[in-house]
Structure 1
Amino acid sequence: MLSQQDNEILTRVGPGTPMGEVLRRYWTPALLSSELPGPDCDPVRVRLLGENLVAFRDTNGRIGLIQENCPHRGASLYFGRNEECGLRCPYHGWKFDADGACVDMPSEPPSSSFKDRVRARAYPVHESGGIAWTYMGPAETITPFRDFGTESLPEKNHLATKLQSYCNWIQTMEGNVDTAHISWLHSWDGAADIEDDGSDKPGYPSNKMTWKFWMHDRAPQLEIEETWYGFRYAGLRETPNGHTNVRITEYVFPYSTIIAAVPYNTRHLMVVPIDDNNCWRYNFEATVPSNPQGHGGAPLFSFGPFETPFTRRVGGITPRNYLAEADYNIDREVQRTTTFSGVKDFVSQDLMVTESMGPIYDRSQERLGTIDKAIIRMRNQLIRSAKSLEENSDAPLLALSGPDADFRKIRGADKILEEGEDWRYLGTDDDPAVQEAEEALRASEERSPQPAAGD
């Protein structure tokens, strides 16, 4: 359990809060690039870390992210005119550029220099991988953009989505680093009867066999390895044939996870706080997918009694069709006879349990077990960093640097181990599966026709 004081530190993210100040030191998704489809398009409201902002794409295609309330009299700039490289307030015509500078003040005398002394609060924006990222920390502490692989990702492979969750961000994060819940919340009766297709042996199992493993061993053992960027942990399960299946999930401080998948995975599930009571679940590809048949621990095809719109991912904002006010469309007869949860949509099963805790759960009431090791580790890293930053403004934070600080090499993985095989090399550059996939990708790029000069 946590003390109420530590629970407050963990969950509160607004300006001036210890955790809010930590999160502002990292480049953070502000919105999808597709939400601003072209120059001078309609502006978009953005609420991020408890701040109300407006995003707009100017005439040159540059994205501005500025305070929503006009510095003049507080009217919402969301209703402003996006024109000629600036957002113009509808109240008195004051115009602000992407840097927050007031570039026109037509309601003041032409001789006035007042506009040169007025600015809107603005945050820098960097587009990468289909996401517009921002840095909300002090200007003097800004860090280089953390490239998870999106900087060199071809635009045709950009696939970024987001889905809103109506609860505190930590509740969603705790589900992401909880490998045990898949054996319960996401289980269905037919998984136990899946026939062995020959892949229950050392090596890489089929996706459908992983469902069987989750059902067969519902009390996994957890092992954790601390890393320069956070930690990675293994969920070890015994398979029906007596082998050891390992699912390796990455935690990238402060709010990103890479969930286990066969043979490995680079897709991020990043939880971004809207405010204390709401968050966005961003999914984005960081590299060209190595495995088109499975991501995030759930098969991309329909297998079992689950809907799969969330797996057939398309770019954009994912609509919520399963909501608390409708009890997440739970079917009690299905719950009695077919699935453990009675909720048909896979992701909505997660939303049901995390949102049902209330907007901010009081962790002083909980009782944790051995399956919660990764959750405890994540909380400890976050709280320790928040307290350190509060005590010393120059305190180093996790995941800003490291001896080999290459964020492109962080990968989740899933495999059945050989006798005596150490799971820790899986998903690293030493993993033959990684080497084989990257060699195949290089060969594919070499075979691709290059554009002719002048094209």
Structure 2
Amino acid sequence: MMPEQNDLLCRVEGAAPMGRLMRQHWLPACMIEEVAAPDCTPLRVRLLGENIVVFRDSDGRVGALDEQCPHRRASLAFGRNEECGLRCLYHGWKFDVEGNAVDMSSEPIDAALRQTMKARAYPVHEAGGFVWVWLGDAAAVTPFDPPNWAKAPADKISIVKMHAACNWAQVLEGSIDSAHSSSLHSTNMPSASVAGSTATDSAWLRPSADKAPRLEVQKTPFGFRYVAIRTPIVDADRQDYVRMTLFVAPFTVHIPSTDQYHLSQMLVPIDDVNTMFYWIAWHPEKGIAQDAWRRFCGAEIGKDVEPLTFRKRRNADNDYLQDRAAMKAGDFTGIYGIPTQDMAMWESMGPIADRSEDRLGSSDKAIFTFRTQMYRAAQAVARGEPAIGTVEPRVPAGGLMSFEGMLPKGEDWRLLNLSDEEKAIALAS
């Protein structure tokens, strides 16, 4: 990719086409647990280069306002969250979840300004463990389309949150790169004689030792589906080990499940050079407890990541606490936790990776597809066209599922795990 093409793919701030594309989708602002209690501490959130503050009022309603008070631009994040509103400390002006000025204590009671003053408020929705916001045109808000994990009970949804100090696109490319797991995560995903991906307390056992998967890609209205086809340990002459990943534009990835829980990721741009990484483990009946999931991933709040910012304590400044002695003893990376192993690679590429220097191989088919698809999608938005995933034929997000397991040789993977909507689209075409 040339530098100008790379910028179109990566940059999201201001009037950048990719940011305008993302503003046509609902964005996860934070986890519900971060603003769980009425009148809780207001939460600073940065999305697509914009600073907002999220709070829950006395009646339990969630609001998302521009962080800067419309009076004199002081931060509302310092405000008092009380009596169904957020009160700026500077002059005591108070705003409700819809941005209405419900008190302006420094102004005369009959001041005309009281009738017109509003803070910018963003539409919000709670679902699947997240507070979602709409940063786009307020007159063009689309109905909220819940993700697939939202159908699971709240206590069966576990979330890891971690800050990545690099651009969103290189983070997402890591999530759709099935080939790297056989090397980078080989200690956490060892080969074993099992029927499929099998989760233990410390590892995911995998029924294949094949490190060079064959990739096949299928473009869809929501993004694309692809499979990594590997030779299994058992009955390699009769079956293939297939791992299907879904890219749901603009920033969601459903990766292959384990026998205990499904796995989804959201790679959400904070700004051009920072990303919030969310990893959701969920299941309608089984699943993994929140504390256990964060411990498995090395993402416990207060231990592995900082409260509020979710910045890593194992980071580039301390070489991710890489343990060379552990590497000599058999640990492949010497870095604890699958997400931190990934981030060491992503962040080492620089704040925005220079894709003009890449030399892609056959195992990079999904990477190539993502780059071309989203580059063209950003070009379309720059021309005034709708964002990818927002026009018919649309596939509701709740029905999208990945796949992991054995497939008899010759059987078509494209027919696996299709939602009713996908089947209808396939038949129509």
TM beyond 0.5: yes
In 1, the alpha carbon distance for the partners of 2:261 and 2:369 equals 22
The change in CA–CA distance for 1:25 and 1:269 in structure 2 (over 3 A counts) is: same
Are positions 1:260 and 2:249 aligned together? no
For residues 129 and 378 of structure 1, what CA distance do their matches in structure 2 show?
26
Identify the residue that residue 277 of structure 1 maps to in structure 2.
273
Counterpart amino acid of 2:272? D
With over 3 angstroms needed to count, the CA separation of the structure-2 counterparts of 1:308 and 1:422, relative to structure 1, is farther
Post-superposition Cα deviations, 1:331-362, rounded to whole Å, max 9, x if no partner, equal 22332441332223222111110111111111
What whole-Å deviation, never above 9, does each CA across 1:82-133 have from its counterpart, x for those lacking one? 1222111111111111112222212111111202222222211101122100
Q: 1:427 aligns with which of 406, 412, 417?
A: 417
Q: How many angstroms apart in 1 are the aligned matches of 2:339 and 2:211?
A: 20
Gaps of 5+ in 2: 302-306, 421-429
Find the residue that maps to 2:297 and give its secondary structure.
Answer: coil
**1:313-332 paired onto structure 2 within 5 Å:** 320-332=312-324
> Larger deviation: 48-57 or 250-259?
48-57
Find 2:224's aligned residue among 220, 231, 243.
Answer: 231
Q: Which amino acid aligns with 2:408?
A: E
* Alpha-carbon distance in 2 for matches of 1:55, 1:210: 36
For residues 369 and 40 of structure 1, the distance between their equivalents in structure 2, rounded to whole angstroms, comes to 53
Q: Is the 8 A contact 1:65 1:124 kept in 2?
A: yes
Aligned partner of 1:121 in structure 2 is 120
Deviation readout 1:245-295 (Å, 9 max, x if unpaired): 110011111000010124696532101111111111123356615x6489x
- Over the residues paired in the alignment, what is the CA RMSD in angstroms? 3.0
Partner secondary structure for residue 28 of structure 2: strand
Alignment match, 1:218: 211
Cα deviations across residues 205-256 of structure 1 (Å, max 9, x unaligned)?
A: 6458974555x21111100111121111000111234241110011111000
User: Where does residue 29 of structure 1 map in the other structure?
Assistant: 28
| Structure 1 residues 38 and 265: alpha-carbon distance in aligned structure 2, compared to 1, 3 A threshold | closer
Q: Assess, with a 3 A threshold, how the Cα gap between structure 1 residues 150 and 103 changes in structure 2: closer, same or farther.
A: farther
Give the CA deviation at 1:161: 3.4
- Which residues of structure 1 form unaligned runs of 5+? 295-299, 302-306, 431-455
The alignment's TM-score, normalised by the length of structure 2, stands at: 0.87
Is contact 1:129–1:150 with CA below 8 Å preserved after alignment? yes
Q: Distance in 2 between matches of 1:9 and 1:351?
A: 23
CA separation of 1:161 and 1:90: change in aligned 2, threshold 3 A: same
What SS does the aligned partner of 1:92 have? coil
What are the superposed Cα offsets for residues 36-86 of structure 1, whole Å, 9 maximum, x if unpaired? 122112111111111111111112111111111111111111111112221
| Residue matched to 1:405 | 395
- Equivalenced residues, count: 409
The amino acid that maps onto 1:147 is P
User: Matches of 1:172 and 1:412 in 2, distance apart?
Assistant: 19
Partner residue, 1:360:
352
Contact 2:188–2:204 at 8 Å: present in 1 too?
A: no
The secondary structure found in structure 2 opposite 1:273 is: strand
Q: Is the 8 A contact 1:54 1:65 kept in 2?
A: yes
Corresponding residue of 1:71: 70
Contact in 1 for aligned 2:197/2:207 (Cα 8 Å): no
Normalised by the size of structure 1, how large is the TM-score?
0.82
Aligned-residue sequence identity (percent) comes to 39
